[in-house]
Structure 1
Amino acid sequence: MGVILLLLLAAAVGGAACVVWAERGGPRWVRIVASVTLGIASVVRSVQKSGRRNKSNGGSSGDSD
């Protein structure tokens, strides 16, 4: 489990580095990795927002007894 977390951390740090490098005009592969990183971040943000909306509504799915 610890190895998986370390790999995820390395991927996140590497992705962030590629985003910064791409902003400064890095090579094509860096721009691709940066685009993928930003896309994943966008998906994670939207999932978090929908989770917060569900919690603010009481977390129920509309079933009331």
Structure 2
Amino acid sequence: MIVPVLTGILVLVLGGCACVWWAARGGPRWARAVAVVTLAAGELVRGASRSDRTGGKSGSDD
């Protein structure tokens, strides 16, 4: 059951990366839209990763 789910996620990620690459080279409008969604999802994942590393603290330890 987990293999089809992970395969689906992998296909979505690879498709999103392909759309980002294609949109950077002037692809069709739908590819640019998929690229925007892919980049936004990447930023969300990156932001979640940062907050996990900092332990959820905000501010300085001074």
Answer whether TM exceeds 0.5 for this pair. yes
- Number of equivalent positions: 56
TM-score of the two chains, using structure 1 as the length reference: 0.83
| Percentage of identical aligned residues | 45
Segments of structure 2 that go 5 or more residues without pairing to the other structure are 58-62
Deviation at 1:32, TM superposition (A): 0.3
Deviation at 1:25, TM superposition (A): 0.2
Q: Tell me whether 1:42 sits opposite 2:38 in the alignment.
A: no
Work out the CA distance in 2 between the residues paired with 1:10 and 1:52: 28
Segments of structure 1 that go 5 or more residues without pairing to the other structure are 58-65
TM-score of the two chains, using structure 2 as the length reference: 0.87
